[in-house]
Chain A
Amino acid sequence: MKGSLLSMMAYLDLGSGSYFFQILLAGLLSGLFYAKQLWTGARNFFRKRFVGRGKS
């Protein structure tokens, strides 16, 4: 019964759930993405500065 109900719901699903969920998730991940970019940028900057100096 549960299975048939779920498949009926899937049939009716217009993708609204995925749509709402993505908006919510993308909002959270946007911040994380910026933080990651910042971290990678800072790491590369220091790596270049110090590793570069060490080599020279």
Chain B
Amino acid sequence: MNSAYRRHYDHLFRSGLYQALVAEGSLIPHEEVPQEADVPRAAYKVIRPQRLAFVSYPWEWCFSQWKDAAGLTLAIQRKALEFGMTLKDASAYNIQFHKGRPILIDTLSFEIRREGRPWPAYRQFCEHFLGPLALMSLGDIRLGRLFQVYADGIPLDLTAGLLPFRARLCLPLLAHLYLHAKAQRRFAGRPTPPAVGRVAKSGLLGLVDHLESAVRELRWKTAESPWSGYCIQERLGSEAFRHKVRIVSEFLGKVQPRPKSVWDLGANTGAFSRIASRQGIHTLAFDADPLCVEKDYLQCCEEGETCLLPLVMDLTNPSPGLGWECEERLSWLERGPADLVLALALVHHLAIPHNLPLAKIARFLSRVGVWLIVEFVPKEDAQVQRLLSTREDIFPDYTRQAFEKEFGGPFALRQSVKIQGTERVVYLMQRREVP
């Protein structure tokens, strides 16, 4: 931490704001560590925040996660104003999901409020939170992915252009998005005069209040997606489902040392992710369907789950490295590997609709995690038949023998069990160490 920040950092503690935010779980706690010899002289302190289990990015969040992150940012700004401070930025990247709830991870985001000064993060809040949420709520849920392209916030003129006309009928959106975008266009390039006007504290509180009501009113009227209504118990039959749960639990217990992280790929609404997370293992549940992730997240909130984080991820096009030198935001694979990967009823979805050879799927999974619990669904299964019903069967190599041969390359097969009443097989595998 640079010496220039000293006054603000000291005020954060003296005012009691840090203690209040940490106590309510809104800000990541940190400890001050001794300065090492190679720290520049301009440094005031070195702090070490509590470590997160996983860093996620906004385009990987479902609607409610984004909405909760926006709500937390505004709640923190309101609290900061009470303590004579303000948030100097409102970046969505500063919010992470930790122990089941959103948390601010940037301790240095606070500065002492100068009387009369507007909120410096207002524009950023609109571009990082309100705009994307409005697009997802009133436009299309997939528009949240635009954030991946406009990684520093979706420009307001673009948001205003993409929103349907009815968005203008909502007063907060009309003000914070449309009129705000117009003002940006009108004053673009003009310098900001140092004292053109003042904003009283009540004005800032009013602004936060208005933004809060704008965020609160945005809802995603969820339609059923093809996968959100997918009930594994119904498809598999309750007896087979119970047997599959038993197999996964047993395999999980056999992995030594006990896994600290589990990634469930194609998790749907997290039925199998919870086998791991309920044992206190930090579990990430990835699915490409935003509605499945939404349902999974809402269940996590309802049940107060602290070890499970559902995220949106298309495994055939996972998050790449982005930003400066492609290193500002890490790619999905760089954020691994997991100790254990669950790939249940997943391989046929990669092999058949996406024409991915089994060898490539095996290699990909060996890059994701060390241990693997994977299910092979044979061609005769109704689910595979459904995938083949709309296309020509050009997959003569999609067989159990080929599966075992290809997966036997990067992995050592430890155990396999056939699910009762089906032809499906669940395998426990361990990645071979590359010499």
Interface residues of A (CB under 8 A from B): 6-7, 9-10, 12-23, 25-34, 36
Contact = CB atoms under 8 A, between A and B. Distances in A.
B189 A26 contact: no
Contacts of A7: 155
Nearest to B197: A23
Interface string B194-235: 001111101111110110000000000000000000000000
Contacts of B34: none
Nearest to A16: B187
Interface residues of B, number: 34
B406 interface: no
Interface stretch (B43-51, B178-186, B419-427): B178-186
Given A13-B184, A13-B188, A14-B189, A20 B196 contact: yes
Interface of B: 118-119, 122-123, 126, 155, 157, 175-176, 179-180, 183-192, 196-200, 202-207, 209-210
Given A15-B123, A17-B184, A33 B209 contact: yes
B334 to A, nearest CB: 30
- Listed from nearest, the 7 A-B pairs whose CB atoms lie closest are A29-B206, A26-B203, A33-B206, A17-B184, A21-B183, A18-B123, A17-B187
Contacts of B175: 25
B210 A29 contact: yes
A10 B199 contact: no
Nearest to B180: A21
Contacts of B198: 23
Contacts of A12: 188-189
Contacts of A33: 202-203, 205-206, 209
A14 B206 contact: no
Contact of A26 (B118, B184, B192, B196): B118
Given A21-B183, A23-B196, A26-B118, A14 B190 contact: yes
* Residue picked from B118, B175, B180, B198, most chain A C-beta under 10 Å: B118
20 contacts: A6-B185, A10-B188, A12-B188, A14-B192, A15-B192, A16-B188, A17-B180, A18-B122, A18-B126, A18-B180, A18-B183, A19-B196, A21-B179, A21-B183, A22-B199, A23-B199, A25-B176, A25-B207, A29-B203, A30-B202
B203 A27 contact: yes
Given A19-B118, A21-B180, A26 B187 contact: no
B172 to A, nearest CB: 10
Contacts of B200: 26, 30
A10 B183 contact: no
Nearest to B190: A16
A4 B308 CA distance: 43
A36 B209 contact: yes
Given A14-B191, A18-B126, A26-B200, 8 more contacts: A9-B189, A14-B189, A17-B183, A18-B183, A20-B187, A23-B198, A27-B199, A30-B202
B393 to A, nearest CB: 45
Contacts of A6: 155, 157, 185
Contact of B157 (A10, A21, A36): A10
